[in-house]
Amino acid sequence: MHPILFRLPLPWVGEVPIYTWGVMLGISLIVGWYLTLGLAERDGLPREMLANCYVITALAALLGARLLFVATNPILPEEYASEATSWEKIRSIFEVRSGGMVAYGGFLGGLAASWGYLRWKKFPIVPWADVGVPSVALGFFFTRLGCYFYGCDFGERLSETAPGWLRRIGTFPHWPEGTVQGGEGAEAWVRHVDMGWVAPDAPASLPVHPTQLYEAGVGLALFFFLLWLRKRQTFRGQLFVSFTFLYGFARFCLEFVRDDVQRGDVPPALPAHVLFPIAFAVFGGAFAFGIAPAIRSSALRLGAQIAFVLPVVVSFVMLRPAEFVASQPAKLSTSQLIGLLSAAVAAWGFSVFWKNAEKSPAGGMAPIVWEGAEKEAGEEESGHGDSATATDSATDSDSDSATDSESATETETKTETPSEEPAPKPRKKKKKKVSS
C-alpha cells in the first residue's frame, strides 16, 4: 500500500504530500476527457459544447461526492477543535485530502449538472449520457484503485478458509504516526484496534475483503461491456440505462461485505431476512418487466429472468434466523438505497426507449437534431442564400452590361460598315453606227 505517492517540496510551504488517490482521480479525469470527446466526435456531436459540459460535470461530481459524504457523516460540534473558527468549520466540509467522498454522490451530482447545462443549451442529454458513461465506468476503476492504495472503503474480515493470496492483498498495515492526514494507520487497522480484534502495536489489520479491488473489477468489466454494447446499440440511451442498472445491482451486493463505518444508513429497520429479499425482488421485477423483454432469444430471456429471481430466494434462506425467531433489525446503506432506486428507474427508462425504438426502428439511432444546430444551419443557409443572391444579381448585371455592349457594338458596326446591297449589273454599251 502506498497512500502517499511522493512528497513535493515547495518553497515557504515545505513538503506537500501527493496522495495516490488524488493521482488516480486525476488520471481518471484526463482519460475520461479524451474518451468522452472521442466518442462524441464519432457520433457527430458538437465537440466544443460537450467539452464544456465535461468540465462542468467533473466539477459537479467532485462537489456532489463530498456533499453526500458530509450528509451521511455529519461532523458533530464536539468533533471540532475547541479553537476552530466558523470559517475553519465550513472549510472542513470541502476538505478531501483526508478522504471522504461517496461515488454515488459524484454520479448524481454530475448527472444533475450536465442536465442543467445541456437544457440551457437546448441539447438532448441522452446522447451525451451514452458517450459519457464509459468514462464513468473507467473512472470507478481508477478511483477504486486509489481507494485501495489509501486503505479506505475496506471490507469485512475474511474467513480462515479464504485463499492465501486473497488474505495477503486484504491485509492493511499500521503506518507510522503522521503518514497521512487524519490517522496513523489504514482504516481497517484503526477499525480492528477500536473493536479490540488486534493490539494497538499490531503491525497490520486482520485480513479483510479488498472491496476496493472488487469494485475496481466491476468498473473495468462494465467499461468493456459498454464498448461491446456500443457496437450493437439499437437506441439512444441504451448504454446509460444499462450501466445504471448493472452498477446499481453490483454496488448493492458489494455493500454486504463492506465494513467501513462511514457509509451511513437509511430507515426503515426491518429484519434482515425480510429487508434484503424485498430489495432483491425489486431488482428482479425491474429486470423482468423493464429489460428482459428486449432479449430476442426466448431461452436466454427466461434464463436471465430466473437469474434475477434467485437472489430473492438465496438471501431469504441465508439470512433467516433459526426457527424464525425475531432477528436483528437491519437497514440499507445510503449507497444501497440509491443503487436500488436508480436501477428501478433505469429499467423503466430502458423499457420506454426500447418500445419507442421498436415502433420506429429507423429513429432509434437517427442523427441528433437539436434546436441550436437547426438555428446555426438556418443562419448558415441564410448566409449562403444572401451570397447566392448577390452573385446572381452581379451575374445579371454583368449579363445586362454584356447585352448592352453587344448592342452598342452592333450599332457601331452598322454605322461604320455600309449595308451590303446587290451590286448593279453593268450596262451594255450600244455600238454607234458609223456612216461610210
- Which residues, 6 or more positions from 279, have their beta carbon under 8 angstroms from its beta carbon? 252, 332, 336, 340
> Residue 68: pLDDT above 80?
yes
pLDDT for residue 237 is more than 80: yes
Would you say residue 414 has pLDDT above 50? no
The secondary structure of residue 155, as a DSSP letter, is B
Domain limits, the chain: 1-76+93-156+209-263, 264-361
Joined together, the cell numbers standing for residue 251 give: 454496488
**Is the distance from CB of 348 to CB of 286 less than 8 angstroms?**
yes
| Cell numbers for 198 | 488486534
Q: How far apart are CA 140 and CA 138, in angstroms?
A: 5
78 pLDDT tier (thresholds 50, 70, 90): very low
Task: Render pLDDT for 167-226 as a digit per residue (tens, 0 to 9).
Answer: 999 999 887 665 555 556 688 888 898 899 998 888 889 999 999 999 999 999 999 999
Quick count: other Cβ atoms within 10 Å of Cβ 197? 13
- Reported as a single tens digit per residue, the pLDDT across 292-350 is 999 888 899 889 888 888 989 888 888 877 665 566 788 899 999 999 999 999 999 99
- 381 or 237, greater pLDDT: 237
The more confidently predicted of residues 360 and 128 is 128
pLDDT reading at 12 higher than 60: yes
Cβ neighbours for 153, distance < 8 A, ≥ 6 positions apart: 144, 147, 211, 212, 215, 258, 260
Contacts for 173-181: CB closer than 8 Å, 24+ residues apart: 173/1, 173/203, 173/204, 173/205, 174/202, 174/203, 174/204, 174/205, 175/3, 179/3, 179/4, 180/3, 180/4, 180/17, 180/19, 180/98, 180/150, 181/17, 181/97, 181/98
Find the mean pLDDT for residues 355-382.
69
pLDDT of residue 97: 60
Phi, psi of 97 (to 5 degrees): -65, -30
